[in-house]
Amino acid sequence: MSKVTVVGAGNVGATCANVLAFNEVADEVIMLDVKEGVSEGKAIDMNQTAQLLGFDSRIKGVTNDYAATANSDVVVITSGIPRKPGMTREELIGVNAGIVKSVAESILKYSPNAILVIISNPMDTMTYLASKVTGLPKHRIIGMGGALDSSRFKYYLSQALECNPNEVEGMVIGGHGDTTMIPVARLATYKGIPVSEFLSKEVLDKVVADTMVGGATLTGLLGTSAWYAPGAAGAYVVESIIHDQKKVIPCCVALEGEYGQNDICIGVPVVLGKNGWEKVIDIKLTADEKEKFEASAAAVRKTNAVLKENGAI
Ligand SMILES: NC(=O)c1ccc[n+]([C@@H]2O[C@H](COP(=O)([O-])OP(=O)(O)OC[C@H]3O[C@@H](n4cnc5c(N)ncnc54)[C@H](O)[C@@H]3O)[C@@H](O)[C@H]2O)c1
């Protein structure tokens, strides 16, 4: 029996739980929120799609009842406030740090062996916070940002190439911020062929720029941050862990010398399996990519410093 808990049954959390159940990633999916009745209602609504969609997973919603989350294999943390138009992810730190810290501590009381997947923003800093306050082995703390940003990168690439997004490979590393993420255009391929064979530098530069503000573009259209792709990206990360798929997915993890970094959680390609993140794929970056990665790490560190100023760590 596999069990996954999703904390925060808002837009992203509920979408993630829905995808987890629909794809039968886990036998049991628990949704927990502080808002009385919301998780329960959404869980019943989702369970009522089971025979329509033909899945066997079961979803249970609870209000702040951590005992119901006991012995979860993976816990996805989406609780917190999302950004509004014009806000950066970094502006959410004050409120979300308190929420992520208390949620991580409560979860581990009942699921001491769980692998944590952090989605709440600013995600790189929330992942760093979770790693500091829980003291868990580094392989069990994973920030989800790169899976989403890479999916957006592949979407924009497929639009430019006028092709099926499933035929495109590409990844985004670095921080999960509008100015800190690094879509690695050099390594993007269409059916294994470098995309530079098909797209001009100008078009590729635009694809990269659109990817970087992909979240902000949707926040502008929706009035709040997006949820279908973020929720699905969370479920995609969980699936590789629960089913021990060993997929290579860019995730935010604690680095100890890889990419020349220490004491930071930031996005790099990792192998995800039953033990959490199992290996960092240390790509040899070009001088330009390295410079961008270092600038990205410096920006993430600046946001992490706020945790110390606030007394969160
Ligand atoms: N990492 C990513 O790629 C990514 C992508 C999209 C959104 N996000 C972030 O995910 C978070 C959630 O976004 P959303 O759009 O779902 O927001 P939302 O407001 O729709 O949902 C957040 C939910 O968290 C709940 N919550 C608040 N405090 C809680 C607590 N202590 N315990 C349990 N639940 C609590 C709220 O009641 C609410 O239902 C935001 O911080 C957002 O910025 C991250």
Distance 231 CA to ligand 1 centre (A): 11
The torsion angle over the Cα atoms of residues 150, 49, 241 and 139, rounded to 10 degrees, is 80
142-154: average pLDDT? 98
Query: Whose CA is closest to atom 20 on ligand 1?
Result: 10
**pTM assigned to the model:** 0.98
Is 243 one of the annotated active-site residues of the chain? no
**How far is the centre of ligand 1, averaged over its atoms, from the C-alpha of 279 (Å)?**
28
Atom nearest to 9 CA in ligand 1:
39
Radius of gyration of the chain (CA): 19
Query: Quick one: which of 12, 154, 84, 88 has its CA closest to 300?
Result: 88
pLDDT of 44 strictly over 90 = yes
Q: Is the pLDDT of residue 89 over 90?
A: no
From residue 91, alpha-carbon distances to 72, 115, 179 in Å are 31, 27, 14
Cα 175 to Cα 284: distance, rounded to the nearest angstrom? 18
Average pLDDT, the chain: 97
Positive or negative: CA dihedral 92, 103, 253, 19: negative
Lowest mean pLDDT segment, chosen from 79-93, 142-156, 176-190, 270-284: 79-93
Look at residue 55 and give its three-state secondary structure.
coil
Q: Of all atoms in ligand 1, which is nearest to the CA of residue 99?
A: 31
| Residue with CA nearest ligand 1 atom 9 | 120
- For range 244-257, the mean pLDDT: 98
Residue 34 Cα to ligand 1 midpoint, Å, equals 11
Determine which one of 176, 227, 236, 300 is catalytic. Answer: 176
Report whether residue 11 contacts ligand 1, using a CB cutoff of 6 Å: yes
Confidence of residue 215 (pLDDT cuts 50, 70, 90): very high
Task: Determine the 3-state secondary structure of 250 from DSSP.
Answer: strand
DSSP code of residue 225: -
Confidence band of 87 (pLDDT split at 50, 70, 90): confident
pLDDT at position 214: 98
Residues shown for the chain: 313
Sheet holding 189-190, edge to edge: 168-169, 189-190, 193-194
Ligand 1: which residue has its CA nearest to atom 26?
79
CB 93 within 8 A of CB 303: yes
Which amino acid belongs to residue 84? K
Spacing, Cα 83 to ligand 1 middle (Å): 10
Please report, for residues 184, 217, 248, the alpha-carbon distance to residue 212 in angstroms, rounded to integers and kept in the order given. 11, 10, 21
Atom from ligand 1 closest to the CA of residue 119 = 1
Which among 240, 158, 236, 168 is positioned nearest to 203, based on CA atoms?
158
Q: Which of the listed residues 7, 18, 31, 34 should we mutate to test ligand 1's pocket, taking the one with most ligand atoms within 8 A of CB?
A: 34
pLDDT, residue 170, reads 98
Band the pLDDT of 88: cuts 50, 70, 90: confident
Helix (H, G, I), strand (E, B) or coil at 192: coil
Residue 117 backbone phi and psi in degrees, to 5: -115, 115
Is the C-beta atom of 82 inside 6 A of ligand 1? yes
